[in-house]
Structure 1
Amino acid sequence: MKFLKLLSFIISFIYFGTLQAQDFKFIPKEQRLLTDEEVKTMEIVVTPDILLFNETGETLPMSQVQLMTNSNYKPLFYVGKNERIKSIVFKCLKPVNNTIQKNPEAEFIKGEKALDFIATDLNSNRFKLSDLKGQVVVLNFWFTKCGPCIKEMPELNNLAEDFKNKKVKFLAITFNSKEVVKQFLQDTTFDFDIAPNANDVITMYGVQSYPTSIVVDKNGNIVTKEVGYRTNIKSVLTKAIDAAL
């Protein structure tokens, strides 16, 4: 009887530990956590469409894939229905300084000019950022396989609706091809003007974390830069737009 109780305790402990390891609300339910044994027997290939997270759900730039070789972190691999890796969560194994550090990508100097660029939208219309002077411009950097990007789209759509009669231009910048974006829009609504194949703009702005939103005032100055998924993205951007109008 004592043995059975001990066995039951061990099973419960292992089961609870497994739940804890997968208890990340920002990971889609259809994704499952690979076991350590599965990781040992498979080839790990990190491609640009894989999302990187810390334990709080903050998206990390692809450059942080280097944490896989850092003994202070354990990468947790999540796969989709096709058994391909979709997300990696870097779990910290040692206590760290709890001081909140702002993502350096979100830093900008007050009065900093937004870099000028030319892009083409899905309807083959070309536009130049500097030609939009006199309007507030909202740039959203995203891609079709970015879970956090898709999660905030309903809020961004509501934002665009609120300002449809104001001098505000909403531009979505992605590296995805025109064909891939059009296929994506068959099932998902995104009410921004979308510029596909915009790798040059992404590189120019140094964007590595998705989604990233930037608000540019009527004079072409950056007034807000938000990096990573935010549940209150609409209210944050609304405040910035209202101040810039």
Structure 2
Amino acid sequence: MDNIFGLALIALGLIVAFNLLLTLALIKKTSILPNPTTPSNSPLPVGSAAPTFLAETTDGGAYSLSDFVGRKLILVFVSPTCNPCLMKMPELIRLRSSLLKKNISLVITSIASMEQTRQLIHQFEIDFPILIAPRGENSLVENYAVYATPTFCSISEDGKIEGGGELNSEWTTLVSALE
């Protein structure tokens, strides 16, 4: 009886060890490792073609990616209900003005409704158009993999993704390089 119990205990130990090894191998295989061509928080691969878009503006116009060919474009995605977005608005307004002088377009893109975005414009006395791309109504948000706000996507003069992500240290580095 002791022999059977001992063998069962050894078999159970081997099964547990084998299960642990399989689990570790699965974790290693499914881990998302950073792609050296993509910044750690960039939703789109660096060097890939920027997705085309068409979005209405708050002043009744519309813009597409082709309107920015030959200029660096920085799309900044915000929501009027996002507190970090509201805190960044004064910086974005100031930065947009200084970048225009360098032929760089910083385009604030709201993922909210026209009405909510107009309230944002009124709150910050914004005197330039903002793109409207409500989630679920305009493919721009999905095509640019906007997972949170505020986030940004930097696009080169020839329409290639240069980077993107949240407005954190990577954003600060980009802004410092452009100013």
Give me the whole-angstrom Cα distance separating, in 1, the residues matched to 2:104 and 2:128. Answer: 11
1:99-114 to structure 2, matched below 5 A, reads 105-114=41-50
Q: Cα deviations across residues 189-221 of structure 1 (Å, max 9, x unaligned)?
A: 456631124432111112112111111110001
Q: Normalising by the residue count of structure 2, what TM-score does the alignment of the two structures yield?
A: 0.67
**Contact 1:140-1:173 at 8 Å conserved across structures:** yes
TM-score with structure 1 length normalisation? 0.50
CA distance in 2, matches of 1:237, 1:118: 26
Match for 1:178: what amino acid?
M
TM superposition shift of 1:165: 2.0
Deviation (angstroms), 1:238: 4.3
Unmatched segments (≥5 aa) in structure 1: 1-100
Q: Residues 213 and 190 (structure 1 numbering): CA distance in 2 closer, same or farther, change over 3 Å?
A: farther
Indicate if the aligned counterparts of 2:99 and 2:106 stay in contact, CA closer than 8 A: no
Task: State whether structure 2 residue 123 is matched by structure 1 residue 219.
Answer: no
Q: CA deviation at 1:160?
A: 1.2
Structure 1 match to 2:130: 194
Q: In 2, Cα distance between the equivalents of 1:193 and 1:230?
A: 25
Higher relative contact order (CA 8 A, sep 6+): 2
Q: 1:231 to 1:117 in 2, by over 3 A?
A: same
2:79 equivalent to 1:159: no
Q: Secondary structure at the match of 2:123?
A: coil
Matched, 1:133 2:69: yes
CA distance in 2, matches of 1:235, 1:166: 17
How many residue pairs end up in the alignment?
A: 140
Identity %: 22
Q: Work out which of the residue numbers 162, 175, 178 in structure 2 matches 1:237.
A: 175
Shift in Å at residue 105 of structure 1? 4.8
Please tell me whether the aligned partners of residues 114 and 221 of structure 1 are also in contact (alpha carbons under 8 angstroms). Answer: yes
**Distance change in 2, residues 1:190/1:225 (3 Å):** farther
Measured after TM superposition, the shift of residue 226 of structure 1 is: 2.6
Q: Which amino acid in 2 is paired with 1:165?
A: K
Contact 1:157 1:191 in 2 (8 A): no
1:202–1:110 distance in 2 versus 1, CA, 3 Å = closer
- 1:102-126 CA-to-partner distances (Å, cap 9, x unmatched) read 7965254331111011111111111
- Residue number in structure 1 paired with 2:145: 206
Q: Please report how far the alpha carbon of residue 164 of structure 1 lies from its aligned counterpart in structure 2 after TM superposition.
A: 2.5
2:148 is equivalent to residue 148 of structure 1: no
Where 1:152 maps in the other structure, the secondary structure is: helix
Is the aligned partner of 1:169 residue 2:105?
yes
User: Does the Cα contact within 8 Å between 1:160 and 1:191 map onto a contact in 2?
Assistant: no
- Which of 56, 79, 84 is the matching residue for 1:120? 56
Amino acid aligned to 1:207: V
Preserved contact between residue 59 and residue 129 of structure 2 (Cα < 8 Å)? no
Q: Which runs of 5+ in 2 are unaligned?
A: 1-32
Structure 2: how far apart are the matches of 1:161 and 1:234?
17
Secondary structure, in 3 states, of the residue corresponding to 1:206?
coil
Q: Hey, which bits of structure 1, 4+ residues long, moved more than 4 A?
A: 101-105, 189-192
- Contact kept in structure 2, 1:176 and 1:197, CA below 8 Å: yes
Deviates more, 1:163-172 or 1:146-155: 163-172
